[in-house]
A and B are shown apart, each in its own frame.
Chain A
Amino acid sequence: MSLDRGAREKLVRALAGSVIEHADELTSLDQAIGDGDHGLNMKRGFEAVLAALPGLADKSLPEMLKAIGMTLVMKVGGASGPLVGTFFMELGKALPEQPSRADLVAATEKAIEAVKARGRSEAGQKTLLDVLVPVHAVLAGGGDAKAIAAEAAQAADRTTPMQAIRGRASFLGERSIGHMDPGSRSASLLIGAAVETLEFEVTP
């Protein structure tokens, strides 16, 4: 697939918009089981990403993703900055300029492994990995944009009955059960925004 400059800019605006518009929701999720800063932190990071436009979209897709990752690492703070930032940076490192679907599957897998290493975590611990891992399975299995977006939303929902093992919510033990993981929610928002944009903008 190939993304021209206009599509790259749309992608950046969609990613940032999805998080910024839901900042209050992310904050209230985080107030339930974390320290209540997830919405604000992610919003700050993606506002910095938006501020890097239009120059950001002049870069090639891999370079653009790396730059987004670096901005998130530097601006988001909390544990989410390094985790989400690492995902984008590693995706950028692994993708060619005009990736095939197979390239996307392979690069996403590498990026997920990097997030696991950064957070010393695995799926099943009530973190964003509980969205990334099942979404990757749908992507690798040939699922279309609709199937990927649906899996992202459902995977975030499935974190609600889980007990947190990593991250701040793990301090709560069993009391973390019954609340959706904020990091999973923001990951599902970003994935939803990405596939929606790519579905209409990609020339195969």
Chain B
Amino acid sequence: MSNVGIVIVSHSPKIAEGAADMVRQMVGDAVPLAWTGGDVDGGLGTNVAGILEAIENAWSPAGVAILVDLGGAETNSEMAVEMLPEDRRARVLVCNAPVVEGAVIAATESSGGSSLTAVKRSAEEFYA
């Protein structure tokens, strides 16, 4: 059985790493997890190459849910998804949810073996 992977994308590497720490502590190791943050020069921002690498690191046959913070994180994540090999593209979804809470809830849902769409729905229901 494989659980849905979780990718955390923040403008701040510290926030991305911290959110990932919270996921690990609260949910454990049953979920593939990766984080990325910062621009290519190490400043605040997000970058497509880093997001692609994180998707690769959190890859699961069940798919990957991406949690993002502000604007560019979402745009860059969508760009990264489009640049994936075609057979993987449909199995990666960007969630419209707060990055920290969304990551913990998505990982909790994933750890129970839920599908990618269920993981995304749970993360987004927090926002509703």
Q: Is A86 positioned at the interface, with any CB of B under 8 Å from its CB?
A: yes
Those of B40-67 within 8 Å (CB) of chain A: 40-41, 43-49
Q: Say how far B119's CB is from chain A's closest CB, in angstroms.
A: 23
Q: Is A182 positioned at the interface, with any CB of B under 8 Å from its CB?
A: no
A31-48 interface code vs B (CB 8 A; 1 in, 0 out): 000010100110010000
State in angstroms the CA–CA spacing of A41 and B45 once bound together.
Answer: 9
Q: Is B26 positioned at the interface, with any CB of A under 8 Å from its CB?
A: no
Q: Is B71 positioned at the interface, with any CB of A under 8 Å from its CB?
A: yes
> Quick check: A118 and B72 within 8 Å, CB to CB?
no
Known: A44-B40, A86-B79, A118-B79. A77 touches B71 (CB 8 A): no
> Quick check: B75 and A74 within 8 Å, CB to CB?
no
Q: Is B101 positioned at the interface, with any CB of A under 8 Å from its CB?
A: no
Interface residue tally of chain B, by bracket?
Answer: 10 to 19
Number of A residues with CB within 8 Å of any CB on chain B: 21
Q: Is A59 positioned at the interface, with any CB of B under 8 Å from its CB?
A: no
State in angstroms the CA–CA spacing of A81 and B41 once bound together.
Answer: 14
> Quick check: A37 and B43 within 8 Å, CB to CB?
yes
Known: A82-B76, A118-B78. A168 touches B48 (CB 8 A): no
Q: Is A83 positioned at the interface, with any CB of B under 8 Å from its CB?
A: yes
> Quick check: A74 and B71 within 8 Å, CB to CB?
no
Q: Is B22 positioned at the interface, with any CB of A under 8 Å from its CB?
A: no
Residues of B with Cβ closer than 8 Å to A? 39-41, 43-49, 70-72, 75-76, 78-79, 83
Residues of A with Cβ closer than 8 Å to B? 35, 37, 40-41, 44, 73-75, 77-83, 85-86, 118-119, 167-168
